[in-house]
Chains A and B, each alone.
Chain A
Amino acid sequence: MTADLTGFHEELRVLARGLLGKAASGAAPDWRSIARSGWLGLEAPEPLDGADATFAEVAVVLREAGRAAARGPYPAVAALGVGALGLLEPSPGRDRLFRETVAGAAVPVTALEGEAVEGVPFRLERTGRGLLLHGTAAFVPGAPVADRLLLPALGPDGTPVVVEAGPDAPGLEVTEQPVVDETRRFGLVTARGVEAGPDAVWRFRGDPEASVRRLHERAAIAVACDSLGLSEAMLEATVAYAGVREQFGRAIGSFQAVKHACADMLVQVKVSGKLVEGAVRGQVDGGRGTGVAASMAKSHACAAAVEVAGKAMQLHGGMGYTWESGIHVYLKRAVLNRSLSGSPAAHRRRLAGRYPAFGLGAGERLS
Chain B
Amino acid sequence: MTGAALDLPDFRAHVRDWCRTHIPDGWRRAQTGVPDEEFVAFQKEWFQELRRAGFAVPHWPAEWGGGMPVARQAVLYQELAAHDAPRLVLAFVSIHHAASTLLAAGTREQRERHLPAILDGEIWVQGFSEPDAGSDLAALRTTARREGGSYVVNGQKVWASGAAHADWCLLLARTDPDAPKRRGISYFLMDMRTPGVDVRPIRQATGESHFCEIFLDDAVIPAGCRIGPENDGWRVAQETLGAERGMTMLELAERLGNGGFRWLVELCGRPGPGGARPVDDARVQDRLAVLETELTGLRALCAELVENDSPGPADASIVKLYYSELLQRMTDFGAEVAGLAAHAELRKPLSSGWESGAWVLDFIGSWEWTIPGGSSEIQRSIIGERGLGLPREPKGSR
CB <8 Å contact, A263 and B394: no
CB <8 Å contact, B391 and A267: no
Give Cα A363–Cα B15 distance, bound, in whole angstroms: 11
CB <8 Å contact, A352 and B392: no
Any A CB within 8 A of the CB of B28: no
Give Cα A317–Cα B265 distance, bound, in whole angstroms: 42
> B393 to chain A: which residues have CB within 8 Å?
254, 256
Give Cα A349–Cα B293 distance, bound, in whole angstroms: 12
CB <8 Å contact, B286 and A271: no
Any B CB within 8 A of the CB of A334: no
CB <8 Å contact, B258 and A365: yes
CB <8 Å contact, A300 and B293: yes
CB <8 Å contact, A363 and B293: no
Any B CB within 8 A of the CB of A251: yes
Give Cα A335–Cα B318 distance, bound, in whole angstroms: 26
CB <8 Å contact, B383 and A267: yes
The stretch that binds A, out of B59-67, B77-85, B165-173, is B77-85
> A264 to chain B: which residues have CB within 8 Å?
380
The stretch that binds A, out of B44-52, B98-106, B295-303, B347-355, is B295-303
Q: Which residue on A lies nearest to B384, using beta carbons? A: A259
Interface bits B257-288 vs A (CB < 8 Å: 1, else 0) = 01001110110110000000101101001101
Any A CB within 8 A of the CB of B292: yes
Any B CB within 8 A of the CB of A38: no
Any A CB within 8 A of the CB of B373: no
Known: A274-B301, A362-B82. A267 touches B321 (CB 8 A): yes
> A296 to chain B: which residues have CB within 8 Å?
292-293, 296-297
CB <8 Å contact, A260 and B296: no
CB <8 Å contact, B293 and A351: yes
CB <8 Å contact, B384 and A362: no
Give Cα A327–Cα B280 distance, bound, in whole angstroms: 40
> A250 to chain B: which residues have CB within 8 Å?
391, 394
> B286 to chain A: which residues have CB within 8 Å?
345, 348-349, 352
Interface bits B300-323 vs A (CB < 8 Å: 1, else 0) = 110010000000001000100110
> B381 to chain A: which residues have CB within 8 Å?
256, 259-260, 263
List B residues 48-98 near A (Cβ within 8 Å): 79, 82-84
Contacts A242-B390, A260-B381, A362-B19 known; list 14 others, CB within 8 Å.
A243-B391, A256-B377, A259-B390, A263-B380, A263-B381, A264-B380, A267-B318, A271-B298, A348-B285, A348-B290, A349-B289, A356-B279, A358-B265, A362-B82
Partner of A364, one of B262, B263, B277, B285: B262
Interface bits B227-256 vs A (CB < 8 Å: 1, else 0) = 000000000000000000000000000000
CB <8 Å contact, B293 and A262: no
Give Cα A69–Cα B22 distance, bound, in whole angstroms: 55
> B269 to chain A: which residues have CB within 8 Å?
355-356, 358
How many B residues, CB 8 Å from partner? 52
Q: Which residue on B lies nearest to A352, using beta carbons? A: B285
CB <8 Å contact, B82 and A363: yes
Chain B residues at the A interface, C-beta cutoff of 8 Å: 16, 19-20, 79, 82-84, 258, 261-263, 265-266, 268-269, 277, 279-280, 282, 285-286, 288-290, 292-294, 296-298, 300-301, 304, 314, 318, 321-322, 377, 379-381, 383-385, 387-394
CB <8 Å contact, B322 and A271: yes
Partner of A270, one of B263, B301, B377, B384: B301
Partner of B285, one of A254, A271, A300, A349: A349
| Whole-angstrom distance between the Cβ of A160 and the nearest chain B Cβ | 27
Any B CB within 8 A of the CB of A278: yes
Any B CB within 8 A of the CB of A180: no
Interface bits A233-266 vs B (CB < 8 Å: 1, else 0) = 0010001001100000011011010111011101
5 closest A-B pairs by CB:
A352-B285, A348-B289, A259-B384, A274-B300, A271-B297
Interface bits A326-362 vs B (CB < 8 Å: 1, else 0) = 0000000000000000000101110110011010101
Partner of A239, one of B321, B379, B388: B388
Known: A348-B290, A363-B82. A239 touches B380 (CB 8 A): no
Partner of A266, one of B84, B262, B292, B318: B318
Give Cα A333–Cα B154 distance, bound, in whole angstroms: 61
Any B CB within 8 A of the CB of A111: no
> A263 to chain B: which residues have CB within 8 Å?
321, 379-381, 383-384, 387-388
CB <8 Å contact, B318 and A253: no
- In the assembled complex, 5 residue pairs joining A and B whose CB atoms fall closer than 8 Å, in A order, are A254-B391, A254-B392, A263-B388, A355-B285, A362-B82
CB <8 Å contact, B265 and A355: yes
> A272 to chain B: which residues have CB within 8 Å?
297
> A266 to chain B: which residues have CB within 8 Å?
314, 318, 383, 387-388
Q: Which residue on A lies nearest to B79, using beta carbons? A: A363
CB <8 Å contact, B391 and A299: no
Give Cα A271–Cα B299 distance, bound, in whole angstroms: 10
Any B CB within 8 A of the CB of A309: no
CB <8 Å contact, A243 and B394: no
> B394 to chain A: which residues have CB within 8 Å?
250, 254
CB <8 Å contact, B279 and A355: yes
Give Cα A239–Cα B388 distance, bound, in whole angstroms: 7
Partner of A253, one of B266, B277, B296, B390: B390
| Whole-angstrom distance between the Cβ of B241 and the nearest chain A Cβ | 20
> A260 to chain B: which residues have CB within 8 Å?
377, 380-381, 384
Any B CB within 8 A of the CB of A277: yes
CB <8 Å contact, A352 and B288: yes
Known: A267-B318, A274-B300. A262 touches B384 (CB 8 A): yes
CB <8 Å contact, B296 and A355: no
CB <8 Å contact, A362 and B387: no
CB <8 Å contact, B377 and A262: no
CB <8 Å contact, B293 and A275: yes
Any B CB within 8 A of the CB of A24: no
Any B CB within 8 A of the CB of A366: yes
> B379 to chain A: which residues have CB within 8 Å?
263
